[in-house]
A and B are shown apart, each in its own frame.
Chain A
Amino acid sequence: MNNELIYIILALGIGALTIIMAIIAILNKKLSIAVVAAGVVSLFASILYLFMSAPDVAMTEAAIGSGLATLIFFYVLNKIKKYND
């Protein structure tokens, strides 16, 4: 029971951070900050999956959602920056 309570408090904190990061990702004018914030949303989501006893999903989300997807976004941002120069 005590263990469950700790998880609930942690989940509330991580959930609040996730939502703040999502709002930052949408409102921030700088594209690179928005992309990184979206990656952080994915990372926190993978911790939430771990709390919900879904380790398979957590591994996939951490590797693909927050790692490789962010990398591809940065390739595109770099390309756009090169065009603008």
Chain B
Amino acid sequence: MIRNFLIGLVLASFVYIFYNLYVSYEPKTELTGIAAHYAEQGAKEVGAANLVTAVVVTYRGFDTMGEVTILFLTASIIGFFLKLNKKDEKKVIIHKGTSELLVTSAQLLVPIIFLFGVYVFINGHLTPGGGFQGGAIIASGIALLIMANPNKEINHHAILWIESISGIMFVIIGLLGIALAGGFLDNRFISLGTFGDLFSAGAIPLIYSFIGLKVGAEISNILNKYQKSQKES
């Protein structure tokens, strides 16, 4: 009884705070401050048509590096928690059999899904999308693969190498920015090129491709760990 009363009290205070915030909120009518600078100078300074990409990769690139680190840490902790012992590792998942439809469509669709993921992160500076979305799309391809065949062994070493190399390359490109241009993750050490071309915006396509590979490998790793944990009894 007293528990419900306390919960009600907390929620009522939240409702009160949010009501006041909502009533006093006035929608913005124009860009101000840092957003105005990004909108005005972003295309000239960075050369990316997609301003969200410009903010994520260069202006706030350091945040992105921390974010990728958090994801890596999460994947390692999950790997530590869901570790199987030697005996369980060799077991086979017993399932009722996957449907013909799923198996055939997985064979047909997985390469196309991978291709689409790569397309999304290579064109991250021109169209909506980028490393995170492309990585998630690649990981959903892997998810389709392991759903079609629950005993499928995803090559663990390949995932590990892709992840490590793209993480190291991300940091090396950032350091090249310090050495050759204005600061960490500055993309202007490669020429900006023509605005709107595929090979433009300096190092942004390169950085975002590495972020995409890293995010895709990490999410695939998490999915693989959960898949393998089904073996344990």
Contacts and interface: CB of A to CB of B under 8 A. Distances in A.
Interface residues of B, number: 22
Interface in B128-183: 128-130, 132-133, 136-137, 139-140, 143
Interface in B207-233: 219, 222-223, 226-227, 229-230, 233
A76 B128 contact: no
A72 interface: yes
B229 A56 contact: no
Contact of A75 (B50, B120, B230): B230
A56 B128 contact: yes
28 contacts: A55-B128, A56-B52, A56-B53, A56-B130, A59-B120, A59-B128, A59-B129, A59-B133, A60-B133, A60-B136, A63-B136, A63-B137, A63-B140, A64-B132, A64-B136, A67-B140, A67-B143, A68-B136, A68-B219, A68-B223, A71-B143, A71-B223, A75-B226, A75-B227, A76-B226, A78-B230, A79-B230, A82-B230
A interface secondary structure, majority: helix
A79 B140 CA distance: 21
A22 B230 CA distance: 29
Contacts of A72: 222-223, 226
Contacts of B219: 64, 68
Interface of B is mostly: helix
What size tier do the contact residues of chain A reach? Answer: 10 to 19
Nearest to B78: A72
Interface of A: 55-56, 59-60, 63-64, 67-68, 71-72, 75-76, 78-79, 82
A72 B128 CA distance: 26
B68 to A, nearest CB: 14
Interface string B59-75: 00000000000000000
B47 to A, nearest CB: 18
Given A75-B226, A75-B230, A79-B230, A56 B133 contact: yes
